[in-house]
Structure 1
């Protein structure tokens, strides 16, 4: 079988993407041909997004050339497209799936299955499934007419090699079983594997998705941005800035030449007009409420299963389906 592997954690990285190489090794050990297309940087929480205004550059990189931080020795970058590992600048899991299926490995046989992952951490519950780049890579496979399987290894904590190897071995067994007995009603499977040494002897269970909704705004926090003192501005531009073009400091300006370093008193360089008030926010996910809900999740859900040490397999369809019975005209109140 020819398997395409994509992910949202990027190239092999001791801290951010420690699981992809062991899974690929196990798939190859089982006798399968594996092609890998991965983003050059982490693309977590991006779902099935494509970055439509960014050009994508594909680097063919031998897996032995990666360093522990996810970079690679560019002096050994393959001059020919003969390595099964490709790293894509500006890539997302979905674009890696698209390019992997249609553009990058045309000298190889057609791809039979797309595996997205293994994610560095769980993807259980509706919010994770709909936000996850890992699940997004498998969703993209479905819309390209292929079977997709998303795999997540359920811990972001550093894991010893023997636990990672056990998870990879079990994941390969589950994948091959699902491919053999694939239910035609299913378009993709979402697998969550707990990280424990005895995982191969623990149950593997079909599960349903835990429904979850944000109880409050908890993904972003206001960021403090240091303001440039008014006395140091001339026509809204810091004095003595050598890299300004047309009077604009591009380290502190947006695409319109407007200063964006946090002060509502800064001018935009045109007739001394002040900018509107600005507030700045940064990604600062507070998932404490979600973690509590996952801990309290009902038996039979993906979250409950993986948190209790078993592997969850959730069969999914790749759609937002309409609500049956709501049909026909709407009679609006006059």
Structure 2
């Protein structure tokens, strides 16, 4: 197959994108033609966005040796000359969805039609609606689906930040086996536009069971932003912010909400005529604990539950916001 690989974590990096190199090498070892378009920097939590009004400019990544000990590869602002035989990946200063558009329609014609888009592997799980609806990894796969191309979103649910080469290789091998199974002759499910696969990164995962799952329909609990009452002098970058989130920081900056009522002589006054704002800064800081609680309450069968138990989940998905039945005819009011 000719497979286009995109992701939301950017080029290989021990801090923010430790899995993509292994997946690409594993796909190539299975004799697939692999074309690669990645964001040039961390683009997690961006969903299926495009940067309106921005001119997208490519750079070019020359991958080095596959390593989990240090980053390998170099970036150039000019492509390799036509006579070069070096492997080269495309980096763009945009989003996973834009990587898909550019990969499908603006490069790789000489390699033949693209049969499948693989988005990932994400550095972290993408189970349950709360995560999936914000995921750049799911966003890339959704973009491919609405372009009429089969797509698979692949995510790795890690349990520690140490990257063991043999464990990553086992997760990649399982991921590729699943990709090949789902895309095999007559196996792609009727009506399915994309699959979301979540693989726990743990030793022996290749021997553990794989389950069909439904996505847990959960919701955020409370604000997912941490507030700072004192303005910070410098905003953290995307990579630093995503690394902090991955560390599982659960502290919620609650702050003190301004009261709309004040006590006067023991009685509550009416609401203020005008809101008086307190200057604050806000940092995206999702409440993982809240999501995990919904998984526990939801019980067996969901994608979140299966991955929590250490198994791989495969969720068939349609690329749409499906309507709720029971509302028909003219709306009179």
Query: Given the alignment of the two structures, is residue 87 of structure 1 paired with residue 88 of structure 2, yes or no?
Result: no
8 A Cα contact 1:101 1:111, kept in partner: yes
Aligned residue pair count: 283
CA distance in 2, matches of 1:175, 1:296: 31
CA deviations 1:210-264 (Å, max 9, x no partner) are 111112112342352269xxxxxxxxxxxxxxxxxxxxxxxxxxxxxxxxxxxxx
8 A Cα contact 2:12 2:18, kept in partner: yes
Match of 1:313 in 2: 314
Match of 2:249 in 1: none
- Structure number with the bigger relative contact order (C-alpha 8 A, sep ≥ 6) is 2
Match of 2:172 in 1: 168
Secondary structure of the structure 2 residue equivalent to 1:61: strand
- Cα drift, residue 12 of structure 1: 0.4
Counterparts in 2 of 1:329 and 1:286: CA distance versus 1, 3 Å: same
Match of 2:238 in 1: none
Which of 201, 205, 227 aligns to 2:207? It is 201
Task: Give the superposed CA RMSD.
Answer: 2.3
Counterparts in 2 of 1:36 and 1:329: CA distance versus 1, 3 Å: same
Counterparts in 2 of 1:173 and 1:71: CA distance versus 1, 3 Å: closer
CA distance in 2, matches of 1:159, 1:30: 23
Match of 2:138 in 1: 135
Match of 2:76 in 1: 74
Match of 1:282 in 2: 283
Query: Given the alignment of the two structures, is residue 177 of structure 1 paired with residue 174 of structure 2, yes or no?
Result: no
Match of 1:114 in 2: 117
- Cα drift, residue 41 of structure 1: 0.7
Match of 1:27 in 2: 27
CA distance in 2, matches of 1:84, 1:37: 10
- Cα drift, residue 294 of structure 1: 2.8
CA deviations 1:154-181 (Å, max 9, x no partner) are 0162231111000000000001000011
- Cα drift, residue 87 of structure 1: 0.7
Counterparts in 2 of 1:198 and 1:217: CA distance versus 1, 3 Å: same
Query: Given the alignment of the two structures, is residue 58 of structure 1 paired with residue 58 of structure 2, yes or no?
Result: yes
Secondary structure of the structure 2 residue equivalent to 1:213: coil
CA deviations 1:31-87 (Å, max 9, x no partner) are 100001000111111000000121111123221299945873538852459744111
Unaligned runs of 5+ residues in structure 2 are 234-276
Q: After alignment, is 189-198 or 69-78 more displaced?
A: 69-78
Counterparts in 2 of 1:79 and 1:322: CA distance versus 1, 3 Å: same
Q: After alignment, is 12-21 or 149-158 more displaced?
A: 149-158
Query: Given the alignment of the two structures, is residue 100 of structure 1 paired with residue 103 of structure 2, yes or no?
Result: yes
TM-score by structure 1 length?
Answer: 0.79
- Cα drift, residue 277 of structure 1: 6.4
Query: Given the alignment of the two structures, is residue 216 of structure 1 paired with residue 217 of structure 2, yes or no?
Result: no
Counterparts in 2 of 1:222 and 1:285: CA distance versus 1, 3 Å: farther
Secondary structure of the structure 2 residue equivalent to 1:115: strand
Counterparts in 2 of 1:78 and 1:209: CA distance versus 1, 3 Å: same
Secondary structure of the structure 1 residue equivalent to 2:111: coil
CA deviations 1:172-196 (Å, max 9, x no partner) are 0001000011012101000000111
Query: Given the alignment of the two structures, is residue 225 of structure 1 paired with residue 225 of structure 2, yes or no?
Result: no
Match of 1:263 in 2: none
CA distance in 2, matches of 1:317, 1:175: 17
CA distance in 1, matches of 2:229, 2:73: 29
Counterparts in 2 of 1:49 and 1:207: CA distance versus 1, 3 Å: same
Secondary structure of the structure 1 residue equivalent to 2:201: coil
Counterparts in 2 of 1:289 and 1:60: CA distance versus 1, 3 Å: same
8 A Cα contact 2:49 2:95, kept in partner: yes
8 A Cα contact 1:3 1:115, kept in partner: yes
TM-score by structure 2 length?
Answer: 0.79
Unaligned runs of 5+ residues in structure 1 are 228-275
8 A Cα contact 2:62 2:74, kept in partner: no
- Cα drift, residue 127 of structure 1: 1.3
